[in-house]
Chain A
Amino acid sequence: MYCELANKLVVEAKRTEQLNSRNNARTTLPVHNDELVRDILNEVTQLKKNLEFFKEQQDIMSMDGASVDSNVMKCQYFVNLLCLERNKRCLLGYQKLRSDMLDSMAWENNGMDVMGSDLGEENSNLTHQEQEYLKKYSELITDMKSGELTDIDLSGSLTPPREIFIDVRVLKDAGEIQTEYGVFNLIKDSQFFVRQSDVERLIQQGFLQKI
């Protein structure tokens, strides 16, 4: 049937969404389904051809003066058009979901100490347009932070602060990382009693675990 492939695409998108809503830790983007999208686009061109054909037919009919069949023609034309629209909706919906996920990735990864290392293992799953988009969006976020709101770390944590000092445990990293407020020697499995604002970034990056 028409739009069956598009339906498949949407179902896949839905699955991705559910997967990501369940494990709320990190968004992981599956591979962009190039093949399916291409198939849908083929279908779209086919439908488009149909439309043109119907239009021609209609013109010929009207020349002949056969008014009886023109209603049927119109109906066929309409169904084809609706299918086109539906395909468009599905394609855009899929793309929108992906770009939304990219946005959230950009927000949660951004403002980290090492900005350039966006190129994680997920990146191979993105098409190069999406990679470009992600890069631009991260740039935009950085620009936003350097604007009027310099003192407010926009990409900071969205959970309200409770205490100033917290206990953290080092999960995986060794070596001196932090140099902004003095140096911490982060050795694996050691514990620190530090100010929350200092280590917020490291927690977001997953180096530290809050206790």
Chain B
Amino acid sequence: MDVDIEDILAELNTDSTAVDYSGNPLSDGISTNASTLYNNTSSSFPIADGKHATPSDKLNHIRSNTSPSISAEHDYSSFITLWRNERCAPELLPYPHHLMTRMIMRIQDQLERLEIISMDFMGQSSTTTTTTTNKPVNNNNMLPLLCMEAELERIKFVIRSYIRCRLSKIDKFSLYLRQINEQREEDHDDQDNDSLMPLEHILSKDEMVYYQRHSEMILKLFNETTLKHLPPELQAINDTTGTISMIDEPDWNKFVFIKVTGPTDKSFNNDPLLRNGSNGKYFYEVIIPELEEDVELFIGSIYVMRYSVIKNLLLDGKVILI
């Protein structure tokens, strides 16, 4: 007779690490402030589960102890996901403040370390009598140094590409962003305007500065070259009353390739959106509004979808763009 003792084994496993987790102040603080979408959750796992705040989910989270700790590796992989999403999505996605500060901190650290090690190395190669023998670079081996350098270059490239992509989107949607900001200021009393995230969440500080200064500049250029000469009623740059709206909105209906990854903590039972199919596979059900058609998105498969349909799933980190 078979007795399935996997649960018991799992419990035993968690027992041994329980001290570790409870003693970790970082992961604790994160699970409490993971209430808002995308941005705050990004402190623990950037694009990852926004639905994390539901109590049952959280409970399970603590019980099963699957909470991903903040590791450099994890940050990197989630940053790659973010980068990919940003490059494929038609709109500007929220900025991962916490993740980014951590990445930049690490890069600075690593740069310093690299410098120190290479200094050591230089010193050793010139005066071979240096006494520090506990460094691994002792044996004139350049390989780790080269690897570290290459790694840094790669990470820097990804970040550079990410930021440049965002900047180009900011340029493209500057009027639209301004409109969002103004709308928010107008109906400030409404608490539940989820669709309108504050600009501080979407943009980083530097991007904010860039956005403001650049839109100012470009407005000045347009004013001086053309708008000044036009009749006053046509001088607005964000005119929506004319035949064609001058505000470029993101193309919400753009087709994107998605891969359905499912909830990040792999606890399929706790995701309220997840359904169980007839063949035992889990899927999300989304509705395409124009066609009024239901689509079942099975976990692990790839689809071409309209962006507006999967936007919420994307922000919750349940699908990724490819």
Contacts and interface: CB of A to CB of B under 8 A. Distances in A.
A86 to B, nearest CB: 8
A151 B206 CA distance: 14
B217 interface: yes
B108 A158 contact: no
Interface stretch (A18-26, A58-66, A135-143, A168-176): A135-143
A127 B222 CA distance: 12
Interface string B154-193: 1011011101100000010000000000000000000000
Contact of A151 (B104, B150, B221): B104
Nearest to B107: A151
A147 B146 CA distance: 28
A122 interface: no
A30 to B, nearest CB: 16
B161 A103 contact: no
Contacts of B218: 99, 133
Residues of A in contact with B, size category: 35 or more
A85 B217 contact: no
Main DSSP-derived SS at the B contact region = helix
A127 B157 contact: no
A154 interface: yes
A50 to B, nearest CB: 11
Interface string A141-181: 00110011101111010101101100000000000000000
Contacts of B205: 147-148
A32 to B, nearest CB: 9
B220 to A, nearest CB: 7
A84 B231 contact: yes
A89 interface: yes
B294 interface: no
B214 A140 contact: yes
A197 interface: yes
A153 B163 CA distance: 11
B157 A143 contact: no
A182 to B, nearest CB: 12
A209 interface: no
B217 A136 contact: yes
B243 interface: yes
Interface centre among A127, A130, A144, A195 (most CB of B within 10 A): A144
Interface in A2-53: 37, 41, 44-45, 48, 51
A82 interface: yes
Nearest to B103: A152
Contact of B160 (A45, A88, A158, A197): A158
A45 B229 CA distance: 8
Contacts of B171: 103
Nearest to A136: B217
Given A91-B226, A92-B226, A160-B157, A148 B243 contact: no
Interface in B213-259: 213-214, 217-218, 220-222, 224-227, 229-231, 234, 242-244
Contact of A164 (B149, B157, B206, B244): B149
B218 to A, nearest CB: 6
Nearest to B228: A41
A210 B149 CA distance: 20
A195 B164 CA distance: 24
Nearest to A32: B225
Contacts of A88: 226, 230, 234
Nearest to B222: A95
User: Which of B107, B209, B218, B221 is most buried by chain A, counting CB atoms within 10 A of its CB?
Assistant: B221
Nearest to B210: A144
Interface of A: 37, 41, 44-45, 48, 51, 82, 84-85, 88-89, 91-92, 95-96, 99, 103, 127, 129-130, 133, 136-137, 140, 143-144, 147-149, 151-154, 156, 158, 160-161, 163-164, 195-197
30 contacts: A37-B226, A84-B231, A85-B234, A85-B243, A95-B225, A95-B226, A96-B222, A99-B218, A127-B225, A130-B221, A130-B225, A144-B206, A144-B210, A147-B206, A147-B209, A148-B104, A148-B204, A148-B206, A149-B206, A151-B108, A152-B107, A152-B159, A152-B160, A154-B160, A154-B164, A158-B161, A160-B157, A161-B153, A164-B153, A197-B149
Interface of B: 104, 107-108, 111, 146, 149-150, 153-154, 156-157, 159-161, 163-164, 171, 204-206, 209-210, 213-214, 217-218, 220-222, 224-227, 229-231, 234, 242-244
Q: Which 5 A-B pairs have the closest CB atoms?
A: A147-B206, A91-B226, A161-B153, A133-B221, A41-B229
